[in-house]
Structure 1
């Protein structure tokens, strides 16, 4: 077995590989850029080597620099993680020439299947059902428009060397093809150093389901079930689960056997993933093969008990697979939610900054419940603009899908993140959405259910009553603490009032709060009551409560007159006042937000790629105004209504902060 491996990656996947290597008794080497000098993967590894400036194209994807780190440390093998150099055949060739093992597939397999155009041709030759499309090289936007018209709209514009949603666009007409083609080429060039583009038919109402394969260099190959990856935003997976709630055993077997046959056809040896589009009739079509470890691999590990990183290391060491297809069993249900540094209230635009608070839920490994959090950050660390915005993968496992979903709801509510915009509220909203709960989602789920963007969650009446009761009980605890500290009252519990008015989300609840063994009993003016217990004390930012025997987890920040409460995707102000205060509050004026309707504000920290308008130009609704690049993605900002440009405050190459003024309108 290898004595030392280098991880040619960063963030959570580097930390993930280090954990398995450590368990196997293998020493690890991390590499890092200027931006990652204090990163978690650097701290976790046994050794660390600096390889250059923050931009990935000057550090993590510069093969010569990685090879220098390998030579300097004497690493015997390299795990590439995903992204960066993981599917770069030149890197695998450089390792082979150096006599260093690549913990991934052979170079020929990477070349055959890592390129989407080549892989689709091979799949067609092997008799695999594929989606109609044009697999040749496309010279320019004009040719792209012509090809798209022949295929038939809608079409998918994809980067040949792409992955992770980079360089990918859906186009519904000629204008969107012309515009999307160039942006896809730009993103592909920046992310992969390869701007080749191909176009294929976009299958409407599809499900994205992938098969995990595992092969060795001795001709053995197995599949480890499937992963449902249909919940996507901008072609980027957000929620994954295993198994799929849609497949039956016959379809699973057919997809698995086809995936293994395809892998064997190219001499595959390592862990890999074959991705399919599956329609409503359970007909499946080959999309691509990812010749690397997938981001969402933890859910497969949780239902099979197989450590995929360990298997990759053993295969790279020349060992045959220790398990056969008959040994693979799928037990229970696992769900993964990707925590992104992006603001769901600003169209999911990237967010950067310092993690002033980062407290994941406790990891659990019990017979009936597992909670796992793969992460590469820590409290006080910086989220950089140079890399992918994903900062953690929160996973839960339980015997049934319903139990796994409920475990995920509690875990999301228990996850504390402050200092940056993040998508925790949106993930909670997905977990509660009836379409997701039913398992009947497609890849259009997010676009269909939130067509105008995410604006938070409106809780139903029952949830509001539960939160109102919990906050009233918490307020009582805080009042008792306050009077005790003041020293003004001897019998403080009697002196704290029982009658309170709780207002939240536009609702008013007149309640009476009384002591109850182990907690409080909160009575409502309709004669009903709820019993509340918990160990919350003033100053705690997380309240793990029980309301009438049912768990309720609240992120609770003290504000004047009450709490800022975040729970199940909702972010609401809860005010707890005595009746007199509540009556007086009705006369308070609401604070009016400033008028920014005549300004185009930068929605996230980023770099101006281009400005599409000039002073004096008349613009129309939907017209592109400028392009901002952040976290390897180009974002086109468009006019929301007709207007005239009064002033242009920024130009190409400018680095802008959030809410910095780009344009002014007359």
Structure 2
């Protein structure tokens, strides 16, 4: 076994790897850019080495700097995490030439699967189902138009070296192909250094399902079940779960065996993922097709760990050190259900625009565990199956051994309070993983845990994730990759609020107001005399309906309904309030907002005003402030780089016409005119950095 390894990554995955290495007694080396000098992964590691400036191209993507760091610290092996250099054949070869072990697959397997065009040809030859499409080189813009027409619309254009949702465009018409082909080439070149594009048929009602494979250097390869990854936005995964509510045991076996066949065909070892597109319109489940193979650890690997009991990072390290797996396919069991949601620095209330800046406050749910603190994904005990004692590395496969553990909550993160979410890297803040004996239990645990996040300083998608977990269609399991676009066509405005939640929020808000009134009543020397503590309050939610709240000892009455016992502890300045109202448990994040409160729970943020009955009566006569008219301006919806400005002063534009392109978080965003107008001025030029709400174009 290695005595010291270097983690060639940052953020939550670097913390995740370091946590397992510590548990295994292996010393660790962290690398960092200037932007990450104070990051958690740097503090966690035994040693750290500076790579260079913040841009990844000058730090994390420089293989020679990683190798120099290994030599300087005596690291015997490198775990690449995901992204950055994890799937670069040249990096794996350079490590091998330097006598440093790569904790991942062999270079030839990375090369074979890294090219999406060639990998599809290999998959086809290995007997794996592939999507109908065109796998040759496409040079001009006219070619894809003809190819797409031959395949039949809709089609998907993909960068050959793409991944992570980048370099993909869906086309329903010839115009879509002409607009999207060049953008796909540019994204592929900018993100992966390869502008080749291929085209394939877009599968109707698609589900994105992937198979986790694991192999050693002795020819043993197993599959560890599947993950359902269909909840996506702009081809970026948002929710993952294991197992899939759609996959039957027969499907799992067929998919798994094809995945193993492909892995064996390229001499694969270590952890890897075979991604499949499955037609949800086929009730037999036989219409599944190979998309690509990711020759690395996936972001969503924790859900597989939770249902199998395996620590995949530990397995990768042991395989790289030459050890055998120690178990067979027949010994792999799936126990319970696990769901993962990705907490991103993006604002769902503003079209999911990226949000960067300082984490003024970051507190994950209090009842969670962090693998980065040294614990594995499951119990340290080994469990027996059919009288046979399994290898200690195959943990947690017996539900009876965890019968008292109804739900588990885990957070994988790599940020800290006071730290910064940088524009240079992925916008992920944390991954929330829950496990339950059933799918419903795992989903319910997600809703409860999401209520416990306290994030301030940047926009985040916690409300949206909670809304997804509560959505009836998601809970039914009837999902496709189009779920978010279909269910939120006009954008996200918050999860629906039922009458019970409205009443409970009113009661909690009135209780908070009473605590502040009671505190104010203790202040000496007030000019108008002591402040009275009111038994009655009028609560207005979101500027709409008003609710009368009355307190009777330890009970609360809302709008004249039956009195309910209210049990809550609140002190002025406290942000997370846990309250029990009747038989309902509520967790609410509260923050002062002028004369009102912002109260966040169950996937929505509400503006709540608490008044005395007299003040409420007078407030009805107040004049509402009219917001300014911004329709004359094209405003930067996010911080980023203005890569293209398509208009000049005096140009006439039509509604829907592309006006500018802003690059943020490595993604191109096309900004269009909202109405017909004439350009009056262009205060900024292509190549300039933009701040949020900065004016790009002013119209007449």
State whether TM-score is above 0.5: yes
Aligned positions, number: 659
1:477 offset after TM fit, Å? 2.5
Find the aligned partners of 1:190 and 1:46 in 2 and give their Cα distance.
34
Alignment-derived partner of residue 68 in structure 1: 68
**Matching of residues 408-419 of structure 1 within 5 Å:** 408-419=446-457
Deviation string for 1:199-251 (max 9, x for gaps)?
Answer: 11111211111111111111111111111100000000001111111111111
Partner of 2:351: 347
Which position in structure 1 is the counterpart of 2:375?
none
Q: Aligned equivalents of 1:534 and 1:256: distance in 2?
A: 50
Structure 2 partner of 1:180: 180
Give the aligned partner of residue 446 of structure 1: 484
**Does the Cα contact within 8 Å between 1:338 and 1:393 map onto a contact in 2?**
yes
Q: Do the aligned partners of 1:536 and 1:545 also contact (CA within 8 Å) in 2?
A: no
* Paired position in structure 2 for 1:591: 625
Shift of 1:388: 1.1
Tell me if 1:295 matches 2:295: no
Question: 326, 329, 347: which is aligned to 1:322?
Answer: 326
Per-residue CA deviations over 1:304-353 (Å, capped at 9, x if unaligned) read 11000000000000101022112211111111110111111221121110
- Residue 498 (structure 1) aligned with residue 532 (structure 2): no
Paired residue secondary structure (1:536): coil
* Corresponding position of 2:410: 372
Q: Contact conserved, 1:510 with 1:525, CA < 8 A, in 2?
A: yes
Q: CA RMSD in A?
A: 1.6
Could you tell me whether the CA contact under 8 Å between 2:506 and 2:558 is conserved in 1? no
CA distance in 2, matches of 1:363, 1:122: 46
Does residue 624 (structure 1) correspond to residue 658 (structure 2)? The answer is yes
Offset of residue 189 of structure 1: 1.8
Tell me the SS of whatever aligns to 2:521. Answer: helix
Match of 2:190 in 1: 190
Contact 1:274-1:290 within 8 A present in 2 as well: yes
In structure 2, the partner of 1:267 is 267
The 5-angstrom pairing of residues 450-489 of structure 1 reads: 450-486=488-524
Task: Report the counterpart of residue 32 of structure 1 in structure 2.
Answer: 32
Q: State whether residues 209 and 278 of structure 2, in contact with CA within 8 Å, keep that contact through their aligned partners in structure 1.
A: yes
Q: How does 1:142-541 map to 2 (within 5 A)?
A: 142-280=142-280, 281=282, 282=285, 283-364=287-368, 367-486=405-524, 496-505=533-542, 506-516=544-554, 521-541=555-575
Matched, 1:95 2:129: no
Mapped partners of 1:161, 1:525: distance in 2: 60
**Aligned 1:533-552 pairs, distance under 5 A:** 533-552=567-586
CA distance in structure 1 between the partners assigned to 2:10 and 2:368 by the alignment = 25
1:603 Cα deviation after fit: 0.7
Normalised by the length of structure 2, the TM-score is 0.92
What CA distance in whole angstroms lies between the structure 1 residues aligned with 2:291 and 2:685?
39
Distance in 2 separating the partners of 1:468 and 1:33: 47
Q: Aligned partners of 1:141 and 1:38: how far apart in 2?
A: 46
Q: Residue 313 of structure 1 aligns to a residue in which SS?
A: helix
Equivalent position of 1:140 in the other structure: 140
Scaled by the length of structure 1, the TM-score of the pair is 0.96
Q: Comparing 48-57 with 363-372, which one deviates more in the overlay?
A: 363-372
Per-residue deviation, 1:486: 4.5
Q: Secondary structure at the match of 1:111?
A: helix
Query: Contact 1:627–1:636 (CA<8 Å) still a contact in 2?
Result: yes
SS in 2 for 1:481: helix
Q: 1:588–1:457: structure 2 CA closer, same or farther, 3 Å change rule? A: farther
Equivalent residues of 1:7, 1:79 under 8 A apart:
yes
* Counterpart Cα distance in 1 of 2:115 and 2:311: 27
Tell me the distance in 1 between the aligned counterparts of 2:197 and 2:676. Answer: 34
Deviation (angstroms), 1:455:
2.3
| Cα distance in structure 1, aligned partners of 2:341 and 2:294 | 20
Q: Cα deviations across residues 351-390 of structure 1 (Å, max 9, x unaligned)?
A: 1100001000125467122111111110000111111111
User: Could you tell me how far apart the structure 2 residues matched to 1:193 and 1:56 are?
Assistant: 14
Q: Distance in 2 between matches of 1:403 and 1:486?
A: 51
Q: Is the 8 A contact 2:636 2:692 kept in 1?
A: yes
In the alignment, structure 1 residue 566 sits paired with structure 2 residue 600? yes
Distance 2:60 2:144 in 1: 32
Do the aligned partners of 2:11 and 2:415 also contact (CA within 8 Å) in 1?
yes
Segment drifting more, 357-366 vs 193-202 = 357-366
Compute the displacement of 1:487 (Å): 8.1
Distance in 1 (alpha carbons) for counterparts of 2:76 and 2:594: 59
Using the TM superposition, give the Cα deviation of residue 524 of structure 1 relative to its aligned residue in structure 2, in angstroms: 2.7
State the distance in 1 between where 2:418 and 2:251 align.
47
Q: Deviations over 1:578-616 (max 9, x none)?
A: 110110110112222111111011011101111111111
CA distance in 1, matches of 2:357, 2:122: 44
Secondary structure (helix, strand or coil) at the match of 1:496 reads: coil
Q: 2:646 aligns with which of 609, 612, 615?
A: 612
Q: What SS does the aligned partner of 1:186 have?
A: helix
* Contact in 1 for aligned 2:588/2:599 (Cα 8 Å): yes
State the alpha-carbon separation in 2 of the partners of residues 189 and 486 from structure 1: 69
CA distance in 1, matches of 2:50, 2:151: 48
Question: Whole-Å Cα distance in 2 between the matches of residues 525 and 353 of structure 1?
Answer: 42
Instruction: Tell me how far apart the structure 2 counterparts of residues 525 and 435 of structure 1 sit (CA, whole Å).
Output: 32
Superimposed CA distance per residue, residues 120-170 of structure 1 (whole angstroms, 9 cap, x where no aligned partner): 001111121111111112113222222222211111111111111011111
Residue 294 of structure 1: how far off its partner (Å): 0.2
The aligned counterpart of 2:693 is 659
Match of 2:222, SS state, is strand
Q: Are the counterparts in 2 of residues 469 and 530 from structure 1 also a CA contact under 8 Å? A: no
Query: C-alpha displacement at 1:562, in angstroms?
Result: 4.2
The alpha carbon displacement at 1:475 in A equals: 2.2
- Structure 1 residues not aligned, in runs of 5+: none
- Give yes or no for contact 1:84–1:192 (8 Å, CA) kept in 2: no
Q: Work out whether residues 368 and 411 of structure 2, in 8 Å CA contact, stay in contact via their aligned partners in 1.
A: no
Q: Is the Cα–Cα contact under 8 Å of residues 362 and 371 in structure 1 kept in the other structure? A: no
Instruction: Please tell me whether the aligned partners of residues 341 and 432 of structure 2 are also in contact (alpha carbons under 8 angstroms).
Output: yes
